[in-house]
Structure 1
Amino acid sequence: MWWRRTLPAVVALLGVTGLGLITVGLTADPARPPRPSADAPARTHPAPDLAPLPPAAPVRVQIPAIDVRADIVPVGADATGVLEVPPLDRPTLAGWYRHGVSPGETGNAVLVGHVDAPSGPAVFFDLGRLRAGQQVQVTRADARVATFTVDDVRAYPKEHFPTTLVYGPADAAGLRLITCGGRFDAATGNYVDNVVVFATRTA
């Protein structure tokens, strides 16, 4: 029940500021990342009769629909409960929240990534283009590949981040992909929204 131990700290962070994935070093007018389509209906994919996978750290994520092929590094939370992210000087990396489940276990595994960096678009810049039915493949350290099918893609104001939907318990193997999005606030150096992809393991 990992989420019961870590969720209060995450709630404290997300209830106030959301996931601060991009905070420094951006130009005053960065390219705006794509927003999820408001017209795309959510599609819940029933979890097939798959045995849960044992714990194993994820090492690579592939999202063919948006041409993402990225290595994954483990991340945690700092002393104040703020979710860590990969270094901004390595914007092509994705991060796995190591205090949660690994992709393929029962529960919601969480991957985070920058939307952009001083050098330009980063690993999850096009996350908002994903649509229900598209796939995400996660390669694990045990050489198994967990395939997830996208159920929904949503943008949330950071002050209304869906903490329970992302970090809460689940009966099946789920995956959550998170980045920043929406309008860029030059005064704070942050985007005002988070983009969240909800997916279910299907192979």
Structure 2
Amino acid sequence: MRRIGDCAIAAVTVVSLCCGGWLLLGAGTTHAPPQPTPAEGTPDPGVQRLGASALPPSPPTRIRIPSIRVNAPLMGLGLTPAGNLDVPPASDKNLAGWYEAGTTPGERGTAIVAGHVDNTQGPAVFYDLGALKKDSVVEVDRRDGGVAVFTVDAVEVYAVKDFPDKKVYGPAKRPELRIITCGGGYSRATGYQGNVVVFAHLTGSR
């Protein structure tokens, strides 16, 4: 089981985000979503960039990533009976979710946001996540009326079998955010072969 703070999540949590039906039905691999380059990878773990002070807990309501044109509402996600993280309905291409039993975005710790890369009709909310660059801004609206502003530290792609649970889901001493969708190439036989993960930390609020 993966652990996020005091909450456990099964090791196959992110697999169900990998729809691929659009490509399978004939869009072709030439339209596969962009993947992060090595230049966007995680910086030296010994260097921690300065961040903002943690915010009090407040559920998020919307996520915006201006550089890749994301502006989507957030729904709360729980666990399935099998212990996996549930996912937003695949039929709604502009909807993301956050793990509501874990850290709220802006609070000290690691907050998790997840969404589909596509559905059977075409690109979904995080289709362009792999094109995100370091230092990009992610804004999360909160129920308390504030906005938590994050700066991207790295964008990486992992094969499902090599997914680094501790690195992605491990606890953090400052407010951090992970955004997860599918990636790592696409095969008609197996679907998406990995996951794209954005690592970001809180740098401001308003």
Is the TM-score greater than 0.5? Answer: yes
Report if aligned partners of 1:110, 1:166 keep a CA contact under 8 Å in 2: no
Which 5+ residue runs of structure 1 have no aligned equivalent? none
Instruction: Determine the structure 2 residue equivalent to 1:135.
Output: 137
Instruction: Determine the structure 1 residue equivalent to 2:112.
Output: 110
Q: With structure 1 as the length reference, what TM-score do the two structures score?
A: 0.88
1:37-76 matched pairs, under 5 angstroms:
37-40=37-40, 42-43=42-43, 46-48=49-51, 50-76=52-78
Report if aligned partners of 2:40, 2:156 keep a CA contact under 8 Å in 1: no
Instruction: Determine the structure 1 residue equivalent to 2:166.
Output: 164
The structural deviation recorded for 1:40 is: 3.3
Q: With structure 2 as the length reference, what TM-score do the two structures score?
A: 0.87
Question: Between the two proteins, what is the percent identity of the paired residues?
Answer: 42
| Equivalent in 174, 177, 196 of residue 175 of structure 1 | 177
Rounded to whole Å, the distance in 2 between the matches of 1:127 and 1:139 is 19
Provide the alpha-carbon RMSD of the alignment. 1.9
1:20 aligns with 2:16: yes
Rounded to whole Å, the distance in 2 between the matches of 1:57 and 1:98 is 8
Instruction: Determine the structure 1 residue equivalent to 2:201.
Output: 200
Report if aligned partners of 2:41, 2:155 keep a CA contact under 8 Å in 1: no
Instruction: Determine the structure 1 residue equivalent to 2:87.
Output: 85
| 1:26-60: CA deviation from partner (whole Å, max 9, x where unpaired) | 44244210000123354465233x33211111000
SS at match of 1:20: helix
1:10 aligns with 2:6: no
The structural deviation recorded for 1:166 is: 1.9
Report if aligned partners of 2:183, 2:194 keep a CA contact under 8 Å in 1: yes
Rounded to whole Å, the distance in 2 between the matches of 1:39 and 1:195 is 14
Runs of 4+ with deviation above 2 angstroms: 2-7, 22-27, 39-45
Distance 1:191-1:124 versus aligned 2 partners, 3 A rule? same
Report if aligned partners of 2:151, 2:202 keep a CA contact under 8 Å in 1: yes
Which 5+ residue runs of structure 2 have no aligned equivalent? none
Distance 1:41-1:117 versus aligned 2 partners, 3 A rule? closer
Instruction: Determine the structure 1 residue equivalent to 2:156.
Output: 154
The structural deviation recorded for 1:23 is: 3.9
